[in-house]
Amino acid sequence: MAAIQLSGLVSGFDWKTFVDTIIDLERTPAKKLATEIETNTEKAESLTGVGTMLTSLTTAITALNTDGVFDARSATTSGTGWSATAASTASPSSASIAVSTLATSAKLTSGSDIGNNLAASPVVSGVSLANLGTGTALTAGAFTVNGARVTVDLGNSLADLFTAISTATGGKVAASYDSAEDKITLANTDLMDTTPIVLGSSTDTSNFLTITRLANNNGTSITSSAKLGAVTPTATLANARLKTAITAVDGSGNGTFTLNGVAIAYNTATDTLNSVVSRINSAGAGVTASFDPLTDKVSLQNTSTGDVGFSIVETDGGVPGGIGLMGALGLTTAASLTRGTNAEFTVNGGATITSMSNTLTADTHGITGLSVTVGATGTQTVSVAAETTSAKTKIDAFINSFNAVQSFIDTQTQVTSENGKVTTSTLSDNREVQSWGSALRKNIFESVPGLSSTLSQLSHIGIDFSGTSSLLSIKEPAKLDAALKDRPTEISALFRQSSTGVFARLNTLLDSFNGGSLGTGGILAKQKTSLTTSNTALTTQIADIERRLVQRRSVLEAGFIAMERAQSLIKSMQSQISGIAPASSFNTK
């Protein structure tokens, strides 16, 4: 029987198409509701666009409505090597500043080398080349003496190397070590031999001559130019070859010193000189520490300039009379202090003024709001002027945002007529949005009460509508420039005066439109909510109609299927009757 569900199979009538037509006709109300939803959605999207434009306008207003925009200052110097900045409190002016002395920072350096000598006596057979004790480690390879190659084997002693020098030169050059001076000497063995010793060649591969500070002098004897023994900065403090032992520590090697009031801890068993230097530099004590392996000294330099000293306090670690790390590094009683200097300068030929810093501020030179950083001695003219570029840039952004709102509202609400045909836009029927453009224009051009009659509205600073349009433009740039330069306080009041200034009025209006910076609670939000609510209700109505149409289709299809079945049954019965009593048997003749 399923076959008779094919439309018109028995009856010859395409009832399925007929049902589709009926259902489509009865869906007309739902189609109208769907069109209404589409229209509401377009309106909501347009309102969202308006909201975005209004938010951009609010952002542009906020950028202008901040301190320092209208009274900004620029500062320039007449030469190179100096820089200057000016706060809004600085008055336009110029001053001649002559700097005779720059400020420098104080420096404290170890009074003498802090590392042990290479050896305690001239006998160096026990001094390993691998652990020579110089500021830089010795490298294996070869060096040259009088053209002869001398091999450096790190497995040998310094005495072995001295022997190698003698052997390589045929006994003509002898090497020796002076433990009192901590220096090495190479000399001709024959006192009558006046031939100068020549050290090194371009093919040398060992740094022996460099780290022992042996250099040609056109003489028969060459001695190290400086003491050789040095601290090993990568070894623990207990094994760093310090000349003075650190004794002001507890049983575990812990010690402490205070630098400019900042306590710094160390441990002789785990810390190295390098790690202590890094700790000082990151301690916030206003000091930069460094170790120079060439001089074998530690230096502390103030990070700030000026004639100020250092405060170093050592704890005794429970050992009365003990020597702490600072003492072992030669930074206490024996230290060498290079005092910092203060900058010295004059303003407009006046009395000499001192400054601890090379940044000369109002505290020293007395010019309100001006800061000058000097990088060299000399005389330059420092000028302060009104800085209008930033304000004009922000005003341009404000005008562009205002015009964008006006253009968008006009586009979304316009009604045009051509050849009798009226064309509407998405928000043409929205009277509230239509009125916003004129409300914005009215608020922006109202005079601000309490201000000078010559600077109480935007037209007074050259901002007006462009022709007959609703768009703003800077019609008189010179008038705006003059107002920004000469009347910054008044132009600031024009825009920023509380409650009645241009921005205060606009912000109040924009808040009512857009609901503040969050875009909630204003007219736009209420309208969008109303459209969303309406669409929800319309969607529900469409769903109800569709459910009824499904039922309606089911009823119609059931009726037509029943019809098909009935006709099929009738045809079947006719066929049976025709088979039992042929038509000819009913002939009455």
The whole-angstrom separation of Cα 172 and Cα 195 is 10
Q: Which of 329, 311, 313 is nearest to 246 (CA)?
A: 329
Task: Give every CB contact of residue 318 below 8 A, 6+ residues apart in sequence.
Answer: 250
The whole-angstrom separation of Cα 330 and Cα 333 is 7
The whole-angstrom separation of Cα 330 and Cα 336 is 9
> Which structure tokens are listed for 387?
């800085």
Q: Which of 520, 487, 382, 508 is nearest to 78 (CA)?
A: 382
| pLDDT (mean) for 34-46 | 92
Q: At 582, is the pLDDT very low, low, confident or very high (cuts 50, 70, 90)?
A: low
Per residue in 44-72, pLDDT (tens digit) is: 999 889 889 999 999 999 998 888 899 89
Single pTM value for the model: 0.65
The whole-angstrom separation of Cα 337 and Cα 302 is 11
The whole-angstrom separation of Cα 399 and Cα 13 is 70
Q: Which of 337, 379, 371, 262 is nearest to 104 (CA)?
A: 337
Burial class (CB in 10 A: 0-12, 13-18, 19+), 3: exposed
Q: At 566, is the pLDDT very low, low, confident or very high (cuts 50, 70, 90)?
A: confident
Q: Where are the domains of the chain?
A: 141-223, 237-338
Q: Would you say residue 275 has pLDDT above 70?
A: yes
Which H or E run contains 257?
A: strand 254-259
The whole-angstrom separation of Cα 349 and Cα 368 is 18
The whole-angstrom separation of Cα 34 and Cα 543 is 11
Per residue in 399-449, pLDDT (tens digit) is: 999 999 999 998 898 888 888 788 888 888 888 888 998 899 888 888 999
Q: Which of 388, 385, 397 is nearest to 479 (CA)?
A: 388
444 vs 302, 364, 504, 506, CA distance in Å? 57, 45, 10, 7
Contact 132, 158 (CB under 8 A): yes
The whole-angstrom separation of Cα 114 and Cα 138 is 20
What's residue 2's pLDDT?
42
Q: Would you say residue 240 has pLDDT above 50?
A: yes
Sign of the Cα pseudo-torsion (464, 468, 471, 473, in order): negative
What's residue 10's pLDDT?
58
Out of 4-13, 42-51, 151-160, 542-551, the most confident range is 151-160
CA atoms within a 13 Å half-sphere pointing along the CA-CB vector of 512: 11
The whole-angstrom separation of Cα 429 and Cα 435 is 11
Sign of the Cα pseudo-torsion (35, 36, 41, 44, in order): positive
The whole-angstrom separation of Cα 570 and Cα 560 is 15
Task: Give every CB contact of residue 18 below 8 A, 6+ residues apart in sequence.
Answer: 560
The residue count for the chain: 589
Per residue in 325-363, pLDDT (tens digit) is: 999 999 998 899 999 999 999 999 999 999 999 999 999
Average pLDDT, the chain: 91
Strand order in the sheet with 378-386: 73-77, 378-386, 93-101, 343-347, 353-355
What's residue 584's pLDDT?
53
The whole-angstrom separation of Cα 343 and Cα 354 is 5
Q: In this prediction, what percent of the chain has a pLDDT beyond 90?
A: 69
One-letter amino acid for residue 345 of the chain = F
Q: Would you say residue 390 has pLDDT above 70?
A: yes
Which H or E run contains 107?
A: strand 107-109
What φ, ψ does residue 158 adopt, rounded to 5°?
-65, -35
Instruction: Output Rg (C-alpha) for the chain, integer angstroms.
Output: 49
The whole-angstrom separation of Cα 241 and Cα 296 is 11
Q: How many CB atoms lie within 10 A of CB 136?
A: 12
What torsion do the CA atoms of 562, 566, 571, 577 make, to the nearest 10 degrees?
160
Burial class (CB in 10 A: 0-12, 13-18, 19+), 335: buried
Q: At 519, is the pLDDT very low, low, confident or very high (cuts 50, 70, 90)?
A: low
One-letter amino acid for residue 198 of the chain = V
| pLDDT (mean) for 243-267 | 95
Q: How many CB atoms lie within 10 A of CB 182?
A: 21
The angle subtended at Cα 565 by Cα 564 and Cα 571, nearest 5°, is 90
Task: Give every CB contact of residue 550 below 8 A, 6+ residues apart in sequence.
Answer: none
**First vs last Cα of the chain: how many Å apart?**
42
The angle subtended at Cα 249 by Cα 243 and Cα 253, nearest 5°, is 90
What's residue 115's pLDDT?
93
Per residue in 165-188, pLDDT (tens digit) is: 999 999 999 999 999 999 999 999
What's residue 378's pLDDT?
97
> Which structure tokens are listed for 131?
């652990």
Between residues 220 and 91, the one the model is more confident about: 220
The whole-angstrom separation of Cα 463 and Cα 56 is 20
Structure-token match 């404290």, residue found: 108
> Which structure tokens are listed for 308?
């100020």
